[in-house]
Structure 1
Amino acid sequence: MDKKLFQERVKSLSSFSYARAEAADAFGEALMNLDDWGLYRINPIRFAKDHDLDPNEAADLFICASRIGLFDLTWNLICPACGGILSATPSISQLNRELFHCALCNIDVPIILDDYVEITFTVSPNVHETDINLYENLDSFQRASFSENLKPSKRMRDALSGCHVAFSFVNPGEYQTFEFQAKPDTLYRLASVHVNSAVSLCIDSSEKNSENPAIHVHASQEGFSPQEVQLHPGQVTLYVHNTCPSPIGVMIFLADYPVLYKIEKESPPTWAPFLTGKMLLNNQAFRSLFKMQDLATNLKLSVRSLTMLFTDLRGSTEIYDTVGDMRAYQLIQDHFTILETSVRKHAGAIVKTMGDAIMASFSEPRNGIMAAIDMMDGIRNMTGDGKDELGLKIGLHEGPALTVNNDGR
């Protein structure tokens, strides 16, 4: 690690209004003690728990650190069944579609920012080139290709272990041979999370084994070809040719989907807390520092539950006549400071200001309610002597939302 560059950038975090100097120091000290895997795809909420930091402050620090090039921020779309990372992109714009397909689970995954989009941070290669070989072994492959935030049930893990047939890496430009004995009237899948594609190997119900021709499978960045093959029970031989620029992990498994879907429903996986796409959109540091990134003009993303807060300052016009222009202007600005502080304190973001009113968003209704209470208390304390007759009206709404890029319209 370039320790000098690292320390310089950590020190510069305290220049952001979102990062306290003490928190930035603790943040930098914790990072210095992490190994390469610890600096790869960091979950800010888990990091905060492990290092006794406030989770909201930790998220702000990672966002600020990304802004100055200390970390790379990534939006990961996660399959809710297997935890596979179906897409990893630095920009939300590349998630601009309604569904992704998981080739392993053979299901369509809706892009919902509340649940299936995780935000992670990896140390920038300009600061530290990690010595991680994602294709070294099966453990490295799993850590790189699946989210650590989803934990399948023991029942599911046992079932998947029983379905496993083969796994191997295939280097660029090379062939890999796979051989196995196929049972009658079954479905096998040859799949790769790296290209998010699969070949269905449909075995007929013949009781007597018949000789199968060798099957040649072409792997490209667009996926596998062919995508379905009809075969007989008995010996199956597959030659997989990788034309991708990097290695791919290829697995073969018995795809007993009715049984696996039943287990997933009856014994669902558990999720560790993580920074969701919705939480990032409702983070004031992200909205201010990244200006919502370079968004596609047709961007539309679904949010299952969003809490919106609206304010209206009562008496703001009359107060100019009551206390004079200078005093009235200062009161209005103090009022904005109270609102901004309350929104940030409760993990929200100001989406829009309209005259002396604001519109703010929160990931959870409770956060919006607590922010509203703080605002009312703050305004009451500001006008406690009764001379400055200002009042604050607040409205809250919770429900599904559609995130769009209004600037492109």
Structure 2
Amino acid sequence: MARDHPVNEEYLETLLAELETAREWSPRVIAKLEHHLFAADDLEVFRMNPIQYAGENRIAEDECIDLFLHATKLQILDMYWQLVCPGCGGPIDSFTSLQKLNSHFYCGLCRVDGIANLDDYILVSFNVSSAVRPIRYHDPHTLPVADYILNYRFMREACVPKEHPAHEHFLRTFGVEPQVRNLFGKLALDMFYLEPGATKSISVEVPQSGYLVMHDFDNAGLHFLAVKPDAPTSEPVVELSGGKMTCPINEIPAGMLRLEFRNQNEERAAVLVFCEPESYVGAGMELAPFLSGKRLLNTPTYRNLFRSDITVGTEGLGVKDLTILFTDIKGSTELYDQIGDLNAFNLVQQHFGQLESVIQNHGGVVIKTIGDAVMATFLSPVDAVRAAIQLQEQLHGRTAGGAPGLQLKVGVHSGPSIAVTQNDRLDYFGQTVNIAARVEAMANATEICMTEDVFAVSSVPDLLRGFTVTTQMAHLKGVQNEMKVYRAALSR
């Protein structure tokens, strides 16, 4: 293949041959990745988004995630967990493994701090490995300042929300997609590096209204100057020191303005000076579709390939919405008496294998087994209910055919939880998990019990047309208020 960029061709070809055998791929999936790694611009192989890549190359999202994960395992790609600011879309921090991820964040540009969750602001991206193809973003401090600030310090997924007036105004005024990095690129009056101890003077044309904003991306300094028609003319000195940016004035008039910057920090400064229109204030941002930390943890391939890396810090990581499914075998003790220990054990192990296959086919993962019980997680209640239905129908079919049967109880609940590491394995804790377990305990053989949080989701009632559904109010252990529980019994 003709190379457009410096690629270690022999090394890459060897790795791609291994990638071909990692699993069964759809036609041309490996060829498309190979072409991308050879021909794409440096920016396009930096922080690669598997969801975006899947859409552009007509590959199923799940297969594309698998592709990137297997490529990472073979060191074709490097995987990063990005902690993204919910205000501006900038990567506050980047981690090479889940174990190093710290969900606490502070953004120097937005002046906000908080705790991110795995659903919204923990984004997983992939870079081409430097051993395969060196790119300029592997050494960000050598980047030209505009490339560093706009492309390295902002995520491509961050966009101005469509419902905010700034979105339409930006599109109409500048004629480019209102990504946050494009926004700052168009609003910029100047941007520059400033070495420690250095001084730099600039002159900028200040618009008639809004705010002149100055931010040092490398040291978190920030200062605003409000544009006021009656503000006195001056030539202020902006001091960069101790991670702060100070200026003796807070208001400036429109027109030409001369500023002098003095960097007294021990680190280089990367300064952006821009004027923010009043109508843009508080616009915030939204993220284009991306691979979230929650989805990655619910991907079987990730759990299989990176088992040793699935370690969450001692504080755990929050998940806003996760569906928990519990199953248990009804009457397993009697089964051991009826057909003998060895036969019963083999039957139960076969059941676990089939159960895991069904769960994975519906987008879930098995978290753990507790005796004869299984705990699994899903990204949506619909997927969990589909899996539960298939499990009950399969077991009912075997029992009806005269085979020694297992009878299954299933419980499903959705809500927030906390991802933690327990006994060197990823686990989930919290009231959502407790409720799912209590609901499963209510189920009889061949039944699926679920809470209103599950049943009320669109399309779930339609999925249960082959079941007899009844409701009851239940006092669940450890839950203060009564909960409505839906009991779906397989129609005979």
TM-score, length of structure 1 as denominator length? 0.82
Counterparts of 1:66 and 1:239 in 2: how far apart (Å)? 43
Equivalent pair of 1:190/1:250 in contact (CA under 8 Å): yes
Counterparts of 1:371 and 1:242 in 2: how far apart (Å)? 61
Counterparts of 2:122 and 2:86 in 1: how far apart (Å)? 10
Of 178, 192, 199, the residue aligned with 2:202 is 178
1:127 aligned partner: 132
Amino acid at match of 1:241: N
Equivalent pair of 1:150/1:271 in contact (CA under 8 Å): yes
Counterparts of 1:402 and 1:190 in 2: how far apart (Å)? 38
TM-superposed CA distance for 1:70, in Å, is 2.0
Q: Which residues in structure 2 correspond to 1:368-407 (within 5 Å)? A: 368-407=384-423
Counterparts of 1:148 and 1:381 in 2: how far apart (Å)? 50
Classify 1:140/1:263 alpha carbon distance in 2 versus 1 (closer, same or farther; 3 Å): closer
The one-character-per-residue Cα deviations of 1:138-194 (angstroms, maximum 9, x if unpaired) are: 467423322222321574254667993523231655654333366899753211445
Of 338, 357, 382, the residue aligned with 1:322 is 338
1:211 aligned partner: 234
Equivalent pair of 2:213/2:222 in contact (CA under 8 Å): yes
The one-character-per-residue Cα deviations of 1:30-49 (angstroms, maximum 9, x if unpaired) are: 11111133322111122222
Further displaced range: 139-148 or 350-359: 139-148
Classify 1:167/1:210 alpha carbon distance in 2 versus 1 (closer, same or farther; 3 Å): closer
TM-superposed CA distance for 1:291, in Å, is 2.6
Classify 1:177/1:348 alpha carbon distance in 2 versus 1 (closer, same or farther; 3 Å): farther
Classify 1:104/1:298 alpha carbon distance in 2 versus 1 (closer, same or farther; 3 Å): same
Aligned residue pair count:
393
Of 150, 153, 158, the residue aligned with 1:145 is 153
1:250 equivalenced with 2:271 (yes/no)? yes
TM-superposed CA distance for 1:362, in Å, is 1.6
Amino acid at match of 1:145: R
Counterparts of 2:289 and 2:319 in 1: how far apart (Å)? 18
Equivalent pair of 2:124/2:293 in contact (CA under 8 Å): yes
TM-superposed CA distance for 1:207, in Å, is 3.1
In percent, how many aligned pairs have the same letter? Answer: 28
2:475 aligned partner: none
Of 199, 202, 217, the residue aligned with 2:222 is 199
Report which of the two structures shows the higher radius of gyration computed on alpha carbons. 2
Classify 1:272/1:231 alpha carbon distance in 2 versus 1 (closer, same or farther; 3 Å): closer
Classify 1:146/1:242 alpha carbon distance in 2 versus 1 (closer, same or farther; 3 Å): farther
Instruction: Give the 3-state SS of the residue equivalent to 2:404 in structure 1.
Output: coil
TM-score, length of structure 2 as denominator length? 0.69
1:29 equivalenced with 2:31 (yes/no)? yes
TM-superposed CA distance for 1:105, in Å, is 3.2
TM-superposed CA distance for 1:277, in Å, is 0.9
Counterparts of 1:282 and 1:162 in 2: how far apart (Å)? 36
Equivalent pair of 2:191/2:271 in contact (CA under 8 Å): yes
The one-character-per-residue Cα deviations of 1:99-135 (angstroms, maximum 9, x if unpaired) are: x233333344540211111111111112221255863
Instruction: Give the 3-state SS of the residue equivalent to 1:307 in structure 2.
Output: strand
Of 62, 65, 68, the residue aligned with 2:71 is 65
Counterparts of 2:115 and 2:395 in 1: how far apart (Å)? 42
2:23 aligned partner: 20
Counterparts of 1:301 and 1:227 in 2: how far apart (Å)? 36
The one-character-per-residue Cα deviations of 1:189-227 (angstroms, maximum 9, x if unpaired) are: 2114454x2321445979362434433324xxxx73335
1:189 equivalenced with 2:191 (yes/no)? no
Counterparts of 2:86 and 2:230 in 1: how far apart (Å)? 37
Counterparts of 1:355 and 1:403 in 2: how far apart (Å)? 22
Counterparts of 1:263 and 1:231 in 2: how far apart (Å)? 22
Q: Which residues in structure 2 correspond to 1:214-253 (within 5 Å)? A: 214-218=237-241, 224-227=243-246, 229-231=248-250, 233=252, 235-241=257-263, 249-253=270-274
Equivalent pair of 1:206/1:232 in contact (CA under 8 Å): no
Q: Which residues in structure 2 correspond to 1:327-366 (within 5 Å)? A: 327-366=343-382
The one-character-per-residue Cα deviations of 1:63-84 (angstroms, maximum 9, x if unpaired) are: 2222232211111122334322
Equivalent pair of 1:335/1:379 in contact (CA under 8 Å): no
Classify 1:368/1:7 alpha carbon distance in 2 versus 1 (closer, same or farther; 3 Å): farther
1:302 aligned partner: 318
Instruction: Give the 3-state SS of the residue equivalent to 1:387 in structure 2.
Output: coil
1:156 equivalenced with 2:166 (yes/no)? yes
Equivalent pair of 2:100/2:313 in contact (CA under 8 Å): no
2:9 aligned partner: 3
TM-superposed CA distance for 1:297, in Å, is 4.6
Instruction: Give the 3-state SS of the residue equivalent to 1:21 in structure 2.
Output: coil
1:45 aligned partner: 51
Equivalent pair of 1:163/1:255 in contact (CA under 8 Å): no
- Unmatched 5+ residue regions in structure 1? none
Counterparts of 1:137 and 1:33 in 2: how far apart (Å)? 29
1:113 aligned partner: 118
Further displaced range: 178-187 or 312-321: 178-187
TM-superposed CA distance for 1:322, in Å, is 2.8
Counterparts of 1:146 and 1:162 in 2: how far apart (Å)? 11
TM-superposed CA distance for 1:29, in Å, is 1.1
1:260 aligned partner: 280
